[in-house]
């Protein structure tokens, strides 16, 4: 049976990991979160140990390892800026890591993690669940060998309340900002389907929204992301809180369904030795890090929503 430890057990995404562990026949042995709102653990793993102090969690991980009660994976669901440190902790404890997105905030951190992978012989896999979405796989199959350049427009509006800006998610140094925290899935998907980006232009960078354009190997991309429900198109305002649209050469890519069990699919792949590793993460981390530091200009491919903003 695959045995897990979990960091960040009280948060929004942790239950999806617990379900993925259970769905794939695994067991959560212990978990840690400074916040003790973890009653959700009873749904799958009532016997798991739980710690609110890192030192006691560390001690228990060490004790299990010494007693030969092997932990196979340490799952990391903590705030983005802590992923790097928590991955190091997992590997130094002799345990492979499964880390939520974005793996790290800057490309230089990937080099550091690669060095620890080499030193410890352990590995890090990250959650990039869109790569496992059937519609995205179909898109990649369709465009991976395309000989022409395509025009892609990405619009993603996902309403968040005021709490977002009080939490770590609203602090750029902790989450990376909107483009990193919300956008990294899409930038990974775009480079997965259309190849890595060579030009990366920033058009808009604010607490609530971000926009820019990318020149990928096989596509010119204009993108717009927002957390503000006022940006929702009139057609969905008052009916939905999220609007997602991706067009390729003017044709809408349909992928509104099929999101529910992608964490379980991610675990199946990781357990089978096909997790997404450091090199696969790098293109999207390069994109978000470059965007964060780029000057605001409006030369190429400005998204219509960004022109209004
Ligand atoms: P959250 O704020 O709901 O949960 C984060 C948890 O980490 C909280 O319970 C918090 O108490 C805990 N925490 C804070 N400091 C900690 C520390 N020092 N050590 C250990 N735990 C600590 O956030 P969330 O939405 O669950 O996001 C968690 C991670 O999952 C983030 O990296 C986020 O980007 C990612 N995420 C991924 C997806 C996806 O679709 N793959 C969706 C949402 C979030």
Own/partner pairs, 42-46, CB within 8 angstroms, 24+ separation: 43/15, 43/18, 44/18, 44/19, 45/18, 45/21
Up-side HSE of residue 244: CA atoms within 13 Å toward CB? 12
Segment 132-146 shows an average pLDDT of 94
Residue 65 backbone dihedrals phi, psi, to 5 degrees: -65, -45
Residue 246 backbone dihedrals phi, psi, to 5 degrees: -130, 120
| Same domain? 296 vs 175 | yes
Residue 92: domain span? 3-126
Please determine, for residue 258, whether its predicted confidence score (pLDDT) is greater than 90: no
| Same domain? 10 vs 122 | yes
Q: Which of 106, 126, 146 is the last residue of a domain?
A: 126
Count of positions (residues) in the chain: 309
Distance CA 185, CA 199 (A): 18
Q: With a 6 A CB cut-off, is 129 part of the ligand 1 pocket?
A: yes
Q: How far is the CA of 105 from the centre of ligand 1 (A)?
A: 14
The per-residue pLDDT for 100 is: 98
Domain count for the chain: 2
**CB neighbour list of residue 139: distance below 8 Å, 6 or more residues apart:** 193, 248, 253
| Same domain? 112 vs 225 | no
Domain of residue 291, CATH code: 3.30.360.10
3-33: pLDDT as tens digits: 999 999 999 999 999 999 999 999 999 999 9
What's the mean pLDDT when you consider all of the chain? Answer: 96
Domain of residue 75, CATH code: 3.40.50.720
pLDDT interval class at 309 (50, 70, 90)? confident
Report the atom number in ligand 1 closest to the C-alpha of 78.
7
Residue 150 backbone dihedrals phi, psi, to 5 degrees: -115, 160
Out of 31, 51, 78, mutate this one to test ligand 1's pocket (max ligand atoms within 8 Å of CB): namely 78
**CB neighbour list of residue 4: distance below 8 Å, 6 or more residues apart:** 21, 26, 27, 28, 29, 71, 72, 73, 74, 75
């Amino acid at each position: 049976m695959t045995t897990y430890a979990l960091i960040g057990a009280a948060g929004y995404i942790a239950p999806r990991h617990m379900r993925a562990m259970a769905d794939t026949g695994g067991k959560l042995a212990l978990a840690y979160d400074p916040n003790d709102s973890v009653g959700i653990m009873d749904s799958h793993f009532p016997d798991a140990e739980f710690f609110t102090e890192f030192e006691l969690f560390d001690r228990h991980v060490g004790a299990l390892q010494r007693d030969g009660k092997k932990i196979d994976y340490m799952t990391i669901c903590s705030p983005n800026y802590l992923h790097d440190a928590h991955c190091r902790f997992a590997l130094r404890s002799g345990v492979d890591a499964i880390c939520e997105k974005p793996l790290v905030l800057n490309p230089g951190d990937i080099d550091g993690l690669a060095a620890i992978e080499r030193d410890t012989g352990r590995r890090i896999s990250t959650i990039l669940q869109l790569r496992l979405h059937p519609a995205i796989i179909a898109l990649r199959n369709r465009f991976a060998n395309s000989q022409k350049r395509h025009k892609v427009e990405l619009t993603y509006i996902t309403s968040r309340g005021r709490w977002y800006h009080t939490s770590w998610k609203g602090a750029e140094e902790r989450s990376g900002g909107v483009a990193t925290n919300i956008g990294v899935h899409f930038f990974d998907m775009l480079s997965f389907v259309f190849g890595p980006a060579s030009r990366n232009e920033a058009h808009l960078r604010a607490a609530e929204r971000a926009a820019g354009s990318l020149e990928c190997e096989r596509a010119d991309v204009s993108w717009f992301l927002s957390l503000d429900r006022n940006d929702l198109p009139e057609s969905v305002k008052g009916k939905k809180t999220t609007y997602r649209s991706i067009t390729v050469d003017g044709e809408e890519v349909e992928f509104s369904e099929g999101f529910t069990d992608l964490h379980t699919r991610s675990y199946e792949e990781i357990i089978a030795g096909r997790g997404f590793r450091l090199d696969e993460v790098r293109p999207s981390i390069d994109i978000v890090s470059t965007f964060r530091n780029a000057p605001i200009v409006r030369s190429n491919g400005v998204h219509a929503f960004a022109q209004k903003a």
